[in-house]
Amino acid sequence: DPIIQSFQYVTGNLRVLTITDLLGNSSRRLVFPYASLYILALGGSATQIGLIAFLSLVAGLFLLPVAGHITDHADRIRLLVLAGFLSTAFLVLNVIAPTWQVVALATLLSGLVVFQFPAYASLVADALVPGGRGQGIGMSSMISSSLSLVAPFLAGLVVDRFGNNLGLRILYGVMVIFSLVATLIQMRFLRETSSMPREPLHLNALLNSLRHSYREIPDLVRRMPGSLRALALVIMLCFVTQSLVGPFWVVYAVDHVGLTAAQWGLTLLAESIVGIPLFIPAGILADRWGRTASLTLALILSTVASLLFVILRGFIAILILRAVLAACFVLGAASCVALMADLVPSDSRGKMMAAIGQGGIQLGTVGNPGGPGVGYLMVPPVMIAGLAAGFLYSLNPVYPWIAATATGILAAVLTVVFVRNPKDTV
């Protein structure tokens, strides 16, 4: 059986990371879809939601460019464990936060753990069995995301039962427990498999690496093929779009559409049920129809569906729109990642992907953009968009979606006019 066979490739460190990812993904899906409601419950406003989105990426400006350097000069498992304990400590601040300012501080500090991303990615790459890498990562992803399907709905029930303040404190408390358990599992069971000698990590080398990363940006951009430069702009606009509306989906749904937290959680459950089975068909469509055409379709449909979110009313209408956005997310991610693989020159793939990301755009997703998919060149515009979104929402709750419509249209036009992939057959 192919499914049983796929389990055989989830071994060693990959098995450990799959279990800890299961805990991490589930806890994040419990909290993040409702995090903006917590800020409001602690006395914050839409402007503060935007400020906190801005703060979540500040550390990435300095640590993302040197994260690879840190990984090359430090024990990877110790990096993951250190990041895990730091994350757990910062999450405790959210549980006990008396005001939104403490949440802002916790968010700023949480951004410091981005140094773990290359270490995590390299451990996964080393753990994949040759000849079964695709099956291994596919099975690992399926297992690690299984519980997160129902997490938003369960969280919605908790928020409806205990309110936005106590309910989110409970959910953050669960996140603390899951984070601590995951970190202890990594500390106990992960094994360093690389025999490469690692030189000591020096502050001067880190600062030089940071300076070098930003100094070589003009040369990096010059070496990009024209289609890749256009695709980088499209990716940036997609992250900006998410930053404009991501933190406010739940706020608008509850305050203006009239959904309960549980109903919002049910829409997120439905979109996961719709989206997950579409990953394989989306990849096939991108290959057969063409990556550029598939990406354009996803951008157009997601832009229309996002705008309709602030026009239509009722639970069923929002449910349908979120299902459409789930399909757009899957098709857009599959097309964009494939385009990146085709267009990025192999001799500078590491540097370019560190700068512009891996192509994993997140059309229509809830929450702030972040994670290893966001290149360091994307961070400044995304930060500015997050800050602007708070002011726009405070002026009129519809304004962020109008701005997101403009960026979505621009991204679609750039894709149609400038993004060309020689491997596309149409």
Handedness of CA 159, 161, 165, 170 (dihedral sign): negative
> Residue written as tokens 């550390």?
59
pTM here is 0.86
Specify the pLDDT at position 112. Answer: 87
Specify the pLDDT at position 424. Answer: 52
Specify the pLDDT at position 425. Answer: 42
Helix, strand, coil percentages for the chain (3-state, nearest 5)? 80, 0, 20
Buried b (16+ CB within 10 A) or exposed e, 154-172: bbbebbbeeebeebbbbbb
DSSP-derived 3-state class of residue 75:
coil
Tally Cβ neighbours within 10 Å of residue 211.
Answer: 12
Domains of the chain, each with CATH number or no CATH: 1-215 (1.20.1250.20), 216-426 (1.20.1250.20)
Cα–Cα distances in Å, from 225 out to 222, 340, 344, 363, 389? Answer: 8, 11, 8, 25, 32
> How far apart are alpha carbons 211 and 419 in whole angstroms?
31
> How far apart are alpha carbons 270 and 320 in whole angstroms?
9
The structure tokens listed for 228 are: 């890749």
Specify the pLDDT at position 426. Answer: 41
The answer to whether 312 touches 365, Cβ cutoff 8 Å, is no
Query: Which stretches of the chain score pLDDT less than 70?
Result: 1-11, 69, 128-138, 194-203, 346-350, 371-373, 422-426
DSSP-derived 3-state class of residue 73:
coil
Q: pLDDT of 282-308, one tens digit each?
A: 878 887 888 899 999 999 999 999 999
Phi, psi of 245 (to 5 degrees): -115, -20
170 Cβ contact partners less than 8 Å away, ≥ 6 residues apart: 158, 162
Total residue length of the chain: 426
The structure tokens listed for 220 are: 């990096």
Q: For the CA atoms of 155, 157, 163, 166, what is the dihedral angle to 10 degrees? A: -50
Q: pLDDT of 193-217, one tens digit each?
A: 766 666 665 667 777 877 877 787 7
Handedness of CA 252, 256, 261, 267 (dihedral sign): negative
Specify the pLDDT at position 134. Answer: 56
Specify the pLDDT at position 210. Answer: 76
